[in-house]
Amino acid sequence: MESSFQNRCNHPECSINTPMKHYDFKKIVLLHSKICERMYHKYNYRKFLYVDLNSGPGYYSDIKEKCSPYIYLDIIHGYCSFKPEIHFIENNADIYTDLTDFYRNNYQGTFNDNIRFHKSGNLDFAHEFCYNYSQHNAKWMFGLVFADPMGAGKDEFNALSIFAETFPHVDLMIHLQGANIKRCNMSPKTNATGHLSLCEYIDLIDKKKFLIRTPHYKQQHSFLLCTNWCDYPEYQKIGFYDIKSKKGQEIFNDIAFKKGGCIDN
């Protein structure tokens, strides 16, 4: 069944679990956007940011499946009155063309000047974008930065740490695949390139709370949400746990391929 699905989807990052991953992403981002919407109306916040560090093609035409960039745009357009500053990052030239072509053919004019596309590596983008951003404006920016690495996420975690330092109120979220993380942990080649453990990567990120979502499917798909917002009962309703909780530690340590705990209580 899996090989049949991949024969229909020509992108290497596409698997039999891709539609369910997108379903989970939509559920999480819809909740996050509704929280931002309440902040927009209650506290009169006006500055919101969304960055997708691994945008991909935006749409898998073979299986008629939208990817994270356009799932997010549909949510913002359909449910929110605030207008975030949006940045989509993609380094592969052919995939970047697919990403921008789909926007031009389906969304042109919908978001005016709020959206930018960048043909860049995500770590290079993080350095340039964050270091040139006004510190005053960054202080009052809210929103989300999302990463969906194909491997263990070395560049992505380093990029997220830069965003955490620059934007204290912007949440960070990374899609994790336990199977990939374990494969990288056991690979001498990967470790020789400066790969860190998942615990060490998290130590790079300056956030107060780390919420891990119950993993699904054979590849252990999960999401890690890094935030300074400490009141998070709504996320618990969709399967997130504080990684300092007993359940959160069990999930995290299993995904991180740790026999002992690595989270300080």
Please name the amino acid found at residue 5.
Answer: F
For 23-66, write each residue's pLDDT tens digit.
999 999 999 999 999 888 887 767 899 999 999 999 988 778 89
Is residue 107 situated within a structural domain? yes
Is residue 116 situated within a structural domain? yes
Range of the domain at 16: 2-175+194-201
Is residue 226 situated within a structural domain? no
Is residue 183 situated within a structural domain? no
Is residue 54 situated within a structural domain? yes
The total number of structural domains in the chain stands at 1
Is residue 94 situated within a structural domain? yes
Query: Are 181 and 156 within 8 A, CB to CB?
Result: no
Is residue 82 situated within a structural domain? yes
Nearest-Å Rg of the Cα atoms of the chain is 18
Is residue 211 situated within a structural domain? no
The CATH number assigned to the domain holding 26 equals 3.40.50.150
For 109-142, write each residue's pLDDT tens digit.
776 668 999 999 999 999 999 998 888 888 889 9
Q: Which two tokens stand for residue 260?
A: 């002992």
For 213-260, write each residue's pLDDT tens digit.
988 766 678 999 999 886 667 888 899 999 999 999 998 888 876 554
